[in-house]
Amino acid sequence: MTETPARQYREQQAGSLTTGSHILLPGGERTAEIHQLEMQRDDFGVPALVLASLTGGGTLRIAAGSTVTLVDAAHDAVTRLPRAAAPDGTAPGPDASALGTPPEATHSAGAEAGTEPGLEQPGGEPAGSGSVPAVVVPPLPAAPPAANGPSDEELALIPTPDGTPESVVEAAAEAHPDAVGVLLLTDRLSKGVNFKSGSCLKDLTDLAHELFVALKDAEGALSIADLLTVLPYDGNPGRWASVEASLALASYICRQDGLDERAAVYEKLIRTPESQETDPFKARMAAKVRQRSLNEPNLYDKEIFRSIDNSNHDAEREWRLLRLESLLFLRAHGGSETIGMSELERRIGNELEAVRA
């Protein structure tokens, strides 16, 4: 008689569950296969509750941060009666888990009757007497297509810096000796450009925006932005935010100058984080969050109107600069489902005119 394999357990966070997983139900005596998953988020957009629809019927509510126990699907293929027609054409019996009968009891009953169920062998015949067919576990759902990064030929469209990063910064300062905002930023950066420092990256992207927005120096702004646009995505959101802002600015400048091929390279690079997640479920959730952020961007309307009401022009300008960054980010992504490209171009023009006034 074939010996039943020991049940294999493993723990997994509820937020990373996938369809087809066999989960140990509350009470620890029964298992069920997940048929469909739905993620509910709280008011801050954070995953809060996982709704797992089970193959045998019913829905399991699990907190997204909870740890659940999964059972090896191969073990369930041996110990659970499959919901399929028997070889003689008779109707299948009810699922043991639906009746509340532990899988081990089902296995013992089959053993006493001389109909030990078994896994399907390479030749196509089930082990043992073959009275019960083996369960075929459905494959995991495919992940969304990963964002395609630029090729080496496309990356060659981004020129290499003319000298060291420090010399590029000094050239920007020399071109605008009377610009206080530029001098303050270049003074900090002249001590050394450290690309592992988040504050240093922030100063560089602020310098690029200052050159383009306040001084209308598109060429100088692009030379500073290109110090960041070639940096790889390292998974650090703080550092990547500065790289992202520089990529969006560089894309806009190139589109304005008719350098569409070069702009397309920046727009591919800004999507780099979209191809990093390999887990299908997490990738789908991240895509939904990303699309929601594009459809509902923070454009700082309340803050700008409050500054206007208080006649605080400095605060209004700072908020408008943040709005401009959000609009440039949207434009680099090709717009969204709520704001089209023509509307983005109009809004970006309005913000540039407002902050330059």
Report the distance separating Cα 334 and Cα 322, nearest Å: 19
Compute φ and ψ for 176, nearest 5 degrees: -135, 70
Report the distance separating Cα 24 and Cα 8, nearest Å: 11
Residue 127 confidence (pLDDT): 44
With H, G, I as helix, E, B as strand and everything else as coil, classify residue 295.
helix
Q: Which of 18-27, 79-88, 257-266, 333-342 has the lowest mean pLDDT?
A: 79-88
Report the distance separating Cα 171 and Cα 22, nearest Å: 62
How does residue 58 score in pLDDT terms, banded at 50, 70 and 90?
confident
With H, G, I as helix, E, B as strand and everything else as coil, classify residue 10.
strand
Type and span of the H or E element at 312: none
Q: Which of 20-24, 55-59, 141-145, 194-198 has the lowest mean pLDDT?
A: 141-145
Give me the mean pLDDT over the 249-278 stretch.
92
Tell me the one-letter amino acid at 27. Answer: G
Closest listed residue to residue 255, CA positions, set 165, 148, 344: 344
CB 223 within 8 A of CB 173: no
Q: Is the pLDDT confidence value at 42 over 60?
A: yes
Q: Is the pLDDT confidence value at 267 over 70?
A: yes
Closest listed residue to residue 300, CA positions, set 249, 237, 355: 355
Report the distance separating Cα 21 and Cα 162, nearest Å: 54
Show the 3-state SS of 165-186. Answer: HHHHHHHHHHHCCCCHHHHHHH
Give me the mean pLDDT over the 31-50 stretch.
78
Residue 99 confidence (pLDDT): 39
Report the distance separating Cα 130 and Cα 86, nearest Å: 10
With H, G, I as helix, E, B as strand and everything else as coil, classify residue 278.
coil
Q: Where are the domains of the chain?
A: 9-112, 152-356
How does residue 140 score in pLDDT terms, banded at 50, 70 and 90?
very low
pTM assigned to the model: 0.60
Residue 46 confidence (pLDDT): 73
CB atoms within 10 A of CB 261: 10
Q: Is the pLDDT confidence value at 107 over 60?
A: no
Closest listed residue to residue 267, CA positions, set 249, 283, 284: 249
| pLDDT, greater one: 93 or 13 | 13
Report the distance separating Cα 217 and Cα 176, nearest Å: 10
Report the distance separating Cα 106 and Cα 132, nearest Å: 13
Give me the mean pLDDT over the 129-145 stretch.
45
- What tokens appear for 170 in the block? 């000094």
Residue 79 confidence (pLDDT): 38
Q: Which of 71-80, 283-292, 322-331 has the lowest mean pLDDT?
A: 71-80
Query: Where does the chain have alpha helices with state H?
Result: 73-79, 96-99, 103-112, 152-155, 165-175, 180-189, 198-209, 218-229, 237-256, 260-269, 280-295, 301-309, 313-332, 341-356
Query: What DSSP state is assigned to residue 88?
Result: T
Q: What is the pLDDT of residues 163-185, one digit of tens each?
A: 999 999 999 999 999 999 999 99
Report the distance separating Cα 63 and Cα 42, nearest Å: 11
Type and span of the H or E element at 40: strand 31-41
Q: Which CATH number fits domain 9-112: 2.40.50.140, 2.40.50.100, 3.10.20.30, 2.30.30.30?
A: 2.30.30.30
Residue 131 confidence (pLDDT): 44
Query: How much is the mean pLDDT over the chain?
Result: 79
Give me the mean pLDDT over the 210-217 stretch.
96
Residue 6 confidence (pLDDT): 56
Compute φ and ψ for 324, nearest 5 degrees: -60, -40
CB atoms within 10 A of CB 77: 19
